[in-house]
Structure 1
C-alpha cells in the first residue's frame, strides 16, 4: 500500500513539474564582455517649464520633445536641439475633444509629424511644431483598431505603425496609416506553459518597451519585468530572443490579472544604426516592498545601460552613477541623453567616449 502511495505521489510530482516548471528553450546571456562606470557629464535644466515626471525624450534633427508622464497641464514639451531652447508645450491634459487623457509615447518624424499615443482614447495624433513661431497644431487623429487592447507603446513606419499586443495571442501588430491591423506577428516567447484563460495576464506581465530603426529594419523589445530582449529584423525576417540572468517575467494570476513577483527589468530601449541600448534596473519586488515598509522609496529608473548587437548579443554594460528613465542615443557624437525624474534637471547627458 505504501509503495502504491509513493508511486502516485511521484506521478503527481512529475505532472506538476511538467505542467508548471519551464524548460529552457531560448539562449541565455549571463554577463557582458565589458563593464564600465559612466559618470554624469552634464545636467541640462530649463527654467521655462516645470516637469513633474520627465518620462521619455525623443529627438529628430533640431527638434527635441520631452514627455511628462504626470503633468499638471501639458504632457509634451518641445525644445530646440542641441541648444535646449524652450519652444512650446502641447497635449493639454483633460477630457476635452482636443485634449489628452494619457500620453504613453512620442515619436518624431519631422517638425510636421510629431506622433503621440493616447492609450486611454485609443488613438495616435499627429502634431505640427514651428520652432520659429513657437506654434503647435494638432493636425491629424488616427483611431486605433477596436481589436487592440489598450496599446501602451508604438513605433512609426513609412506605411503606418507598429504596436505591442496585449491579448496574449501575438507579440506585435502591423497597422496601416489608418490604424487598422494589417498583420499580427509572433507569440510571447515564454518558457512557461499557460492555459488560454491566462493569456491576458501573461501579456500584462510581458509588457515590453519597443523601438524601431527604419534604416536597418530592426525592431527591439525589452521586458518591463524580468530580463528578456527580443529582436525582429523586418527586412530579413530574422528573429532573436535572449533571456538574461533574471529570466522571464514572473507573476501570479489573481482575478484574471498578472501580479508581478520577480524584478523590475528594463525601462527603455533605443535602436541605433549599429547597436541596441537599453536601461535596466533589476530591483526585486520583495526589496521594493521591504523598503516601503521602512519608509524608504527606492528610486525609479535603471542605473545600468546595456548595449547589444543588432542580433541580441551582449556587448557592454555601463554602470551609471544615478538612475535614469527614458533615453536617446547619439551614436555619432558618442553620447546618450536620459530623462531625470529626481532633480529639477530635465535631461542628464553621459559621454560614451570617456
Structure 2
C-alpha cells in the first residue's frame, strides 16, 4: 500500500501545475555547491506503537511532553497524540470525513501547548485548534479559523503570536502574514526564479515552487525549502533580512503539456525545521526521469529524503548527514542532540538518529 502511495504523491505533484510559462534564464541568485562536512548518521532507535496503525506517517510535531504525528492518508483519523519522550499512545483525533467536525485533508500540525494544537485543513480552507489532555485522553475541537478567500489552496502554515504565516500560490508573493482571524495583513516577497515568466504562467510557477516552511518565534527566522529542485530561502522577521540560495540542482523545473505543467527536474526537499542555532532540511534529489523509469520496470522508489542538510540561520550550508534510509517529516532536539523522523516504509512510526559527534 505504501509503495502505491508513492506513485500517487508523484502523480499529484505532476498534475498540480496549470497555466503557461514563457521563460528566459538569467543567473542572479547566489549558489552553494558543497557542504563543508559530510557525515553518516547512526540510527539510535526505531520507535513503534502497537496501539495505532498509520498508513503514511508524514509529519511529527513535539512540544514539551506532547507529540503529534500526522498521517497523510489515514483510514479514520489524520492525527495521533503520544506522550514524549516515552511515546505512549494518548488519543487519535481529526476524523477524516465531510461532516462539520471532520477533516477533509490535513497538511500540517503545529503545537503551541496541549490547549493549542493547530491543524491545517487545506480542502476546507481552515485552520482548527484542538485541546488535548494526556492524562485523561480527551480531545476537544476548540476553534475554527476560516482562511482569507484570496488565498489559493494553502498547503503549509506556521503559528505566530499574532496569527499565522502561510504559503502563497498566486505566483505574486512568497508568503502571507495572517491575523488571528485568518485574514491577510501583509503579503511578502516574490518567487526567486531566474526565469522571465508571462502573467498567465504565474500560478503554474507558484505550484512548481511549492515550498515547505518552518518558523522559530524565538529568533524570528522563517525558512522555506522547495519540494522540487533545490532552493532555500531565509526570512528574518525581526531584522527584515531576506536571503535565497540555489543548490546544485537549481530551481524547480517543469514544462507545459496539454495545458498541464509537468515536473522535469528532481524531487527536492521534504521538510524543514528551524531551531535556535541552525536550519535542518531533509533532501531527496532523485530525478523524475529515474522515478518514471523505475515505475515502468515495476520498481517503486521509496519516498522521502536520505540526506539531512544543515544551514546557518542565514542560509549558508554547514553539514550534510547521510541517513542510510529515506525519511519524511522531521523534528530536532538540539539540546539532546537527537534527530527524529517519520518512517514511511516500515511499521515504525519514528526513527531516532544521533547527532552527537
Range of TM-score over shorter length: over 0.9
SS at the partner of 2:53? Answer: coil
Stretch moving more, 132-141 or 254-263: 254-263
The equivalent residue for 2:287 is 284
**Whole-angstrom distance in 2 between the partners of 1:258 and 1:42:** 41
Gaps of 5+ in 2: 1-21
Count, aligned residues = 336
Gaps of 5+ in 1: 1-18
1:187 aligns to 2:201 (yes or no): no
Any conservation in 2 of the 1:198–1:253 contact (CA below 8 Å)?
no
SS at the partner of 1:43? Answer: strand
How far apart are residue 24 of structure 1 and its match? Answer: 1.0
**Whole-angstrom distance in 2 between the partners of 1:93 and 1:211:** 25
The answer to which structure, 1 or 2, has the higher relative contact order (CA under 8 A, 6+ apart) is: 2
1:96-146 superposed Cα distances (whole Å, 9 cap, x missing partner): 000000000000000000000000000000000000100000000000000
Any conservation in 1 of the 2:209–2:252 contact (CA below 8 Å)?
yes
2:58 maps to which of 52, 55, 75: 55
1:281-308 superposed Cα distances (whole Å, 9 cap, x missing partner): 0000000000001000000000000000
1:144 aligns to 2:143 (yes or no): no
SS at the partner of 1:315? Answer: strand
Aligned ranges 1:229-308 → 2 under 5 Å: 229-254=232-257, 256-308=259-311
SS at the partner of 1:204? Answer: helix
How far apart are residue 23 of structure 1 and its match? Answer: 1.3
**Whole-angstrom distance in 1 between the partners of 2:46 and 2:311:** 26
1:294-326 superposed Cα distances (whole Å, 9 cap, x missing partner): 000000000000000000000000001111000
1:175 aligns to 2:181 (yes or no): no
The equivalent residue for 2:117 is 114
Any conservation in 1 of the 2:23–2:198 contact (CA below 8 Å)?
no
TM-score by length of 2: 0.93
**Whole-angstrom distance in 1 between the partners of 2:319 and 2:171:** 32
1:40 aligns to 2:43 (yes or no): yes
SS at the partner of 1:198? Answer: helix
The equivalent residue for 2:105 is 102
* Inter-CA distance 103–42: structure 2 relative to 1 (3 Å threshold): same
1:57-105 superposed Cα distances (whole Å, 9 cap, x missing partner): 0000000000000000000000000010000000000000000000000
1:131 aligns to 2:101 (yes or no): no
The equivalent residue for 2:312 is 309
